[in-house]
Amino acid sequence: MAGHAIDFFHYLGPISVPICFAVISIQNLVTFKKPKPFNKKQRNLAFGIIPVIALAYIGESVLTILQTYRNPTRPSDQAHNVYNLFSVFFWVGVGIFSNKKEPIWYPYLGATICAACTEIALVVLYAVTLQAHRRSATTLLALSSFRALLLIGACANLGFLLRGGNKVEKGKDVERQPLLNGPTDTKAYGAVEETSATSTLNGDDDEDEDGKKAKKSREELIQEKGGWWAYARDYMMFLPSLWPAGKPPIQLCLLIMLVKELVFDRAINLLIARQWGILINCITADYGTGNFPIKEFAIWVFMLYLVSGAGVSLIEKYVEVFYDNFARKQLATITFNHVMRLSMDFHHDKDLGEIIAAIGQGDAITELLKVGLFEVFPIFIDIIIATVYITTQYGVYTTCIFYVCGAAYLAVGFTMSQYTVASQKKYSADYRTENKVQTEGFSNWETVSYFNTREHENQRYQHAVNDALQSWKGYSNRYRLIAALQNLIMQAGFAGVAAYGIYQVSMGVKDIGSFVTLISYWSVVVSPVSSMLRRYKELAREMVSAEKLIELMKRMPSILSREDAPDFVLKEGKVEYQNVDFAYDPRKKTLKDVSFEAKSGQTIAFVGETGGGKSTTVKLLMRFYDVTGGRILIDDQDIRDVKIESLREHLGIVPQAPSMFNTSVMENVRYSRLSATDEEVMEACKAAAIHDKILTFTDGYKTKVGERGVKLSGGELQRIAIARVLVKNPRIVILDEATSAVDSNTESHIQEALRKLTTGRTTFIIAHRLSTIMHADQILVITDGEVVERGNHWDLLRQGGKYKDLWTAQTTPLRSLPPSANDNGEGSSKASSMTAKDGADHAEDVNVNQLIVDVSTKAYSEALAQEMLNTDKDDAENEPASQIDGQKDSKVKTASKNIQMKIQQLTKANGKAAAVAEVTSQAELEEDGKGEGELKMVSPRPTGGFGVVGEEGKEGEDGKKDGKKE
Ligand SMILES: Nc1ncnc2c1ncn2[C@@H]1O[C@H](COP(=O)(O)OP(=O)(O)OP(=O)(O)O)[C@@H](O)[C@H]1O
């Protein structure tokens, strides 16, 4: 009875101790347990006991071998031998492979408690059987008691360590400790460095910003949620999309794959080896008889066929394609939709290459599922089958060799993998750099060509490729070294099993067939062990690959409609900004307390220095961002309270830099309203003054516009963008520098189109060329995020503030024209004299041709006329406003017409530059001595002699006269 109990504990120990150690280690790994602080003495004591325990087991093993040697006839105590073998192996392994710098003590404590309990039970049992087996039991009792004491001591020490110890080592702050065992204490996430498992999972040591962000967010997530489960749970978000719900044929495909991988493959390998053994037995039995074991042979061949590429695998590969296609489609569409849903902040921050690479990792998710389900999970099934089969067929010693070999293989793999982690990370980083340099080169091709730096880019790319290749060499060399060591272990195990098999055959315990089965099954038995590490790494690699995709998928749009948000209801198109604050970065406000109201159909213009916040103001209206203070109302509805799509439906924008799809002009214009007919598109193009131009393109409206519209000039792009908005026909229009890239001649055409577009619509215009916004109902001057001036053109000029400065700056150069190369001598000399008079400082900056064009535009003529006539206002102070306005309108029209005519006449006579200089010199704005910022006209010179100044059309006198037009 006691003998059986001893056997029981001899078997229980080798099973319970390693299992306890493995389970607690895995549990620590997945819960990301933090190591407790410890002091050096205690740590040394804990690790010092382990070799002593190992020596105690080695001592008992030596004693047993000596006893067998002295008394060969004595039957071998199999349970005792297994116990010794496993115990020696376990404690030596722990002594060698444990990380002594930053250990996690829980697995050690668990294993020590198990071992101590086993030893205590054995001490009791040895004591009970002391009378019966006096000599041997006494020695065993002594050794067992010694080990039990050692183990109890070790437990006490570990328990003390885990309670925090009495003194924490200097510099071993728990917060700075790696969460798992790690070689350094400098990284809070250092635990990931230590084991190959975790380090491989963390193998994307991104040098780039995004990588660091991803790592940081993962670290936060793991700490916040308490372990790897949370991390792993992220991957689960893809599971619903990978399950073919409502698609029975795809479900059937998945089922076939599952049965093949989890049942068929697991069984067939063992059955083939077994059948091979049966065949060999038949062959040896029929040796020399001429009998052919046809049945056994046929079964064996049939099994080989089933397992071949033409058998069940073929069916699996066939159905796998269906499932893969399904999964790929699911993931591709989900990720695409997700990225398109993200808000402007993301799209402005993003690195396109990284996004595309991340979306490309969709395959990694499918692979992850397949590796986990079809490769890692079956390993455990294989191990269980192998253990049961080998133990029942070949005895426990063969199983021991299998486990010893397997454990050594894994221990070497996991421990040695640390040495590849750094090189693997370096390779990953270098490989990414290589891709980045390549993508940057392609996407900046134009810049490279402008600055003739192709050679530089070639060199840069070559260096990046060289670096990647070098790091690959370093990584693969180390990797091969580990693989060689692991192969050695497996070969040694194979030799051991073969030797034991031969011994069994020689002793007549087993027949040759069994030996052959064992030999051929061995490769099947060890393959799960060897593939465990490989598959684990694969799994980890796929996880790392998929991580960026997960980060991307976890990114939520910063601007979202509330679930229950109603649709926006357009009434009249009134827009109100109420004390709006906004900041891209919380540290710096971009807009401060911006308030204004645009009544239905009004035009509001934003002007001001570049970077002041004009575009930002209109982006808020489109709800690309949400205000950080105040609110924006359209028709009394806060735009944050309505569905974004329904809001944008009524807004049309001509952006600063319109971008096009690489399709035809027709498709691009139609893009704003997909149901628009060809005729509607053409009408819009005509209105946007681009129709005639499009007809000159080689394929007319079918001409492809190139990537983002690169085949179009800036002006063409803007006009197509205007046509787009015309096609959409929204109620609220935003023109963000809509005509900045067109020449003034074209602009005058477009202004006409824009007038049509904006009539009866609430319009927001951002413009640097003030002549284009003169007629706005309200002009807001935005400086440094604040509205510093507001009013209409004339109010603002009278205010004499920033707007007037801008206006003056834009009109002053006209008075300082240098002579044009094309002008005749007279014109040149006139222009020269004016340059000297009006400000030589500006002369260099003036683009003569552009100014000539500018000055001859209708808008400019009108502006000039308006300024001139403005002085009438003082004279007519007592007249009703409407009357004054009516008179002014007609005066402006007459005056502007006269100015245009005069320019034409003078151009014919004196050349363009001289004509322009002549006209502008006669319409000078200067400050009145009486009123601040009041505008006065300067009388025309006799040389100019034209009668456009003043409503009467009289020719003026030379010299200035305060406050009066001449
Ligand atoms: N996506 C962004 N993220 C962070 N800052 C931004 C972003 N877009 C613009 N900014 C900053 O906000 C400020 C206002 O930019 P905005 O484009 O509104 O100026 P703007 O007045 O329209 O200039 P411009 O006349 O040159 O178009 C600038 O300092 C700019 O650098």
Residue from 346, 614, 625 to probe ligand 1 pocket by mutation (most atoms less than 8 Å from CB): 614
Is residue 613 in contact with ligand 1, taking CB distance under 6 Å? yes
What CATH number is given for 575-809 in this structure? 3.40.50.300
Question: What does the pLDDT read at residue 816?
Answer: 44
CATH class of domain segment(s) 241-554: mainly alpha
3 state SS of 596: strand
CA dihedral 630, 635, 639, 640 (to 10 degrees): 80
CA 540/CA 533 separation, integer angstroms? 10
Cα–Cα nearest to 778, from 757, 762, 759, 754: 762
Q: How far is the CA of 610 from the centre of ligand 1 (A)?
A: 8
Measure Cα distances from 630 to 580, 592, 616 in Å.
4, 10, 15
Confidence of residue 888 (pLDDT cuts 50, 70, 90): low
Q: What order of strands is seen across the sheet that includes strand 651-654?
A: 651-654, 732-736, 762-766, 603-607, 778-783, 786-791
Using alpha carbons only, give the angle 50, 163, 192 rounded to the nearest 5 degrees.
70
Q: What DSSP letter does each residue of 165-177 carry, written as one string?
A: -S-PPTT--GGGS
Given a cut of 50, whether residue 851 has pLDDT beyond it is no
CA proximity to 410, closest of 537, 495, 299, 286: 537
Q: Are 338 and 551 in contact (CB under 8 A)?
A: no
Residue 779 belongs to what H/E stretch? Answer: strand 778-783
Distance between Cα 620 and ligand 1 center (Å): 12
| Least confident span in 71-80, 88-97, 578-587, 698-707 | 71-80
| 927 vs 72: CA distance, rounded Å | 124
Give 305: exposed, middle or buried? Use CB within 10 Å, 0-12, 13-18, 19+. exposed
Determine the Cα–Cα distance for residues 236 and 37; give it in Å rounded to an integer: 34
pLDDT band at 226 (very low <50, low <70, confident <90, very high): low
Report the alpha-carbon distance of residue 830 to residue 735 in Å, rounded: 39
348 touches ligand 1 (CB under 6 Å): yes
Q: Which of 1-10, 797-806, 850-859 has the lowest mean pLDDT?
A: 850-859
Decide whether any atom of ligand 1 lies within 6 Å of the 346 Cβ: no
| Confidence category of residue 914, pLDDT binned at 50, 70, 90 | low
For residue 651, report the distance from its CA to the centre of ligand 1, in Å.
Answer: 21
Supply the residue whose CA is at minimum distance from atom 17 of ligand 1.
615
- pLDDT-derived band at 527 (thresholds 50, 70, 90) equals confident
The more confident residue out of 273 and 416 is 273
Pairing relation of β-strands 926-927 and 778-783?
unpaired
Amino acid 300: pLDDT: 92
Residues whose CB is less than 8 angstroms from the CB of residue 101 and which lie 6 or more positions away in sequence, other chains included: 181, 182, 183
pLDDT over threshold 60, residue 252: yes
The whole-number average pLDDT for the span 415-427 is 77
Selected residue with higher pLDDT from 200 and 524: 524
- 78 Cα–ligand 1 center, Å: 81
Q: Sign of the C-alpha dihedral, residues 708, 711, 716, 720? A: negative
Of residues 763 and 49, more confidence is placed in 763
Asked whether residue 8 carries a pLDDT value surpassing 50, the answer given is yes
Ligand 1: residue whose CA is nearest its atom 10? 584
Which atom of ligand 1 has the smallest separation from the CA of 608?
21
Q: How many angstroms is it from 735 CA to the middle of ligand 1? A: 16
Report the DSSP beta bridge partners of residue 783. Answer: 786
815 lines ligand 1 (CB under 6 A): no
Mean pLDDT of 229-257: 81
Long-range contacts of 840-847 (CB under 8 A, 24+ apart): 840/816, 841/816, 842/812, 842/813, 842/815, 842/816, 843/816, 843/817, 843/818, 844/818, 845/813, 846/813, 846/814, 846/816, 846/817, 846/818
Q: Residue 863 pLDDT > 60, yes or no?
A: no
CB-based contact 56:147 (threshold 8 Å): yes
Ligand 1 atom having least distance to the Cα of 584: 4
Angle at the Cα of 140 from the Cα atoms of 134 and 144, rounded to 5 degrees: 140
Name the β-bridge partners of 250.
none
Identify whether the C-beta of residue 719 lies closer than 8 Å to the C-beta of residue 684: no
Evaluate if residue 813 carries a pLDDT over 60: no
Q: Among 590, 606, 737, which is best to mutate for testing ligand 1, by the most ligand atoms less than 8 A from CB?
A: 590
User: 216 vs 333, which has greater pLDDT?
Assistant: 333
Torsion sign across C-alpha atoms 478, 482, 484, 485: positive
Q: What's the chain's average pLDDT?
A: 74
For residues 499 and 25, the model is more confident at 499
Residue 858, pLDDT > 70, answer no
pLDDT value of position 464? 93
298 has a pLDDT exceeding 90:
yes
User: Whose CA is closest to atom 7 on ligand 1?
Assistant: 584
Interface predicted TM-score (ipTM) of this complex, two decimals: 0.96
Site to substitute for ligand 1 among 558, 591, 615, most atoms within 8 A of C-beta = 615
Domain coordinates in residue numbering, the chain: 1-164, 241-554, 575-809
Q: Please, which pLDDT band fits residue 338 given cuts at 50, 70 and 90?
A: confident
Give me the percent of the chain exceeding a pLDDT of 70.
70
The answer on pLDDT for 955 being more than 60 is no
Residue nearest to atom 2 of ligand 1 (CA): 584
The mean pLDDT of 278-305, rounded to a whole number, is 88
- Encode pLDDT of 628-658 as tens digits: 999 999 998 999 888 888 888 888 888 888 8
Grouping H, G, I as helix, E, B as strand and the rest as coil, residue 740 is coil
Q: What integer is the mean pLDDT of 254-261?
A: 90
CB of 611 sitting under 6 A from ligand 1 = yes
Query: Is pLDDT of 426 > 90?
Result: no
Give the residue ranges of DSSP H helices in 744-857: 744-758, 793-799, 802-811, 825-838, 840-843, 848-855
Cβ–ligand 1 contact at 785 (below 6 Å): no
Work out which ligand 1 atom sits closest to the CA atom of 606. 21
Q: pLDDT per residue over 26-38, tens digit each? A: 777 666 566 666 6
696 CB near ligand 1 (under 6 Å):
no
670 C-beta closer than 6 A to ligand 1: no
What pLDDT band is residue 957 in, cutting at 50, 70 and 90? very low
Percent of the chain predicted with pLDDT > 90: 10
Alpha-carbon torsion, ordered 83, 89, 92, 95, to 10 deg: -100
Name the residue with higher pLDDT: 17 or 743. Answer: 17
Ligand 1 centroid vs 803 CA: distance in angstroms? 20
Q: Residues 481, 357: contact at Cβ < 8 Å? A: no
CA of 606 to the centre of ligand 1 (A): 14
Question: Which residue shows structure tokens 């604040």?
Answer: 786
> What's residue 225's pLDDT?
55
For residues 472 and 480, give the distance between their C-alpha atoms in angstroms, rounded to a whole number.
12
Residue 615 near ligand 1, beta carbon < 6 Å? yes
pLDDT of 829? 36
- The confidence score (pLDDT) of residue 827 equals 38
pLDDT at residue 218 is higher than 60: no
Query: Quick check: CB of 610 below 6 Å from ligand 1?
Result: yes
Task: Compute, in angstroms, the gap from residue 616 CA to the centroid of ligand 1.
Answer: 6
Q: What number does the ligand 1 atom closest to the CA of 782 have?
A: 21
pLDDT at 447: 82
Across the range 813-820, mean pLDDT stands at 44
CA of 737 to the centre of ligand 1 (A): 14
As a whole number of Å, the end-to-end CA separation of the chain is 132
Q: Whose CA is nearest to atom 9 of ligand 1?
A: 616
Residue 432 has which token pair?
A: 């990414």
Among protein residues, the one whose CA lies closest to atom 6 of ligand 1: 584
**Spatial contact of 448 and 454, defined as CB atoms under 8 Å apart:** yes
Query: At 458, is the pLDDT very low, low, confident or very high (cuts 50, 70, 90)?
Result: very high
Cα 804 to ligand 1 centre (Å): 23
Distance 590 CA to ligand 1 centre (A): 8
Give the residue with greater pLDDT, 528 vs 303: 303
> Residue 105 in contact with residue 157, Cβ under 8 Å?
no
Highest mean pLDDT among 458-462, 502-506, 512-516: 458-462
Contact 590 CB / ligand 1 (< 6 Å): yes
